[in-house]
Amino acid sequence: MHIGPHHLNNNLVVAPMAGVTDRPFRQLCKRLGAGMAVSEMVASDPRLRATHKSTRRADHRGEVDPISVQILGADPQLMAQAAKHNVEQGAQIIDINMGCPAKKVCNVAAGSALMKDEELVRRILDAVVGAVDVPVTLKIRTGWDQQHRNAVRVARIAQSAGVRALAVHGRTRACGFTGEAEYATIAAVKSQVSIPVIANGDIDSPEKAKRVLDHTCADAIMIGRAAQGKPWIFRDIAHYLATGETPPPPPVSEVCRVLIDHLHELHAFYGDELGVRIARKHICWYTKELAGSAAFRESMNRLETAQEQVAAVSGFFMRLAQRNERLSYGEELAA
């Protein structure tokens, strides 16, 4: 799959997720099989660029190409300026957020709220595409609500503006993340445009990935929440798409190794104090299906130092290994 001049290793993309797809997570997913990862959204308001949070989000040092940065806003000129700024900071692809359903985003007419105003969509896309010499991509939803599914019209606007790829989440803004994603609208979008279309929403297994690709004829799929605590899902999907065989779950020893490496990268990226706090949610995601993890998580969340956190995770997995060295992640365990 190509996005402009960039050739992706495969058609598996990490969805942008606020508070999740930081540089350590993007790098980890790429190592475990993702062809591309999109950054956390960066606000277009120039007053926010100097904050520590924005500075970290613009840190792409050592990241595997292509570097895709998502920008958020509702003012065409500010969005164009934000695109230029992020390209200067190393972005090789600019992604525009018109898919976030969060109230704090939609209340300022950004994210998926923009789909209500197709003329503003056109103005934003024209401004951003005209401002940078790197590919511009777009993420949308199927529409505002079930009575107003306008993804096909927005897709045509995007293609006319010069957008190089389009990701479509199979829910409306009104759905949030509730209910089941629907893929008929994504299939309709794909049938109406020639740019690459990326299907997103509820893709949580290799088999589901194959079904969505077959149903929508999409060029790629985008994985979000299903990669939290299971970043190897990209490797598993790639294997299934290539062979038709479902790979076994990773052994607990590998889960431990991946998690410990992830912790070290988080601590190094954020510093020990903030890194420990941010790592807690990742530890919960990695361990939530393992026996005894509820008590472990409760005690782990009280730890304050990076060393204690790493030691606690190592000890938890060591105890699992001692009980059954052949134990595989995802097996039903006795508490």
Catalytic residues: 100
* Distance separating alpha carbons of residues 254 and 321, to the nearest angstrom: 11
Handedness of CA 33, 71, 116, 102 (dihedral sign): positive
Of 193, 198, 194, 196, the C-alpha closest to 170 is 198
* Distance separating alpha carbons of residues 218 and 316, to the nearest angstrom: 41
Cα of 285 vs its chain's centroid, Å? 15
* Distance separating alpha carbons of residues 111 and 119, to the nearest angstrom: 15
Are 230 and 29 in contact, with CB atoms under 8 Å apart? Answer: no
Of 263, 264, 268, 169, the C-alpha closest to 223 is 169
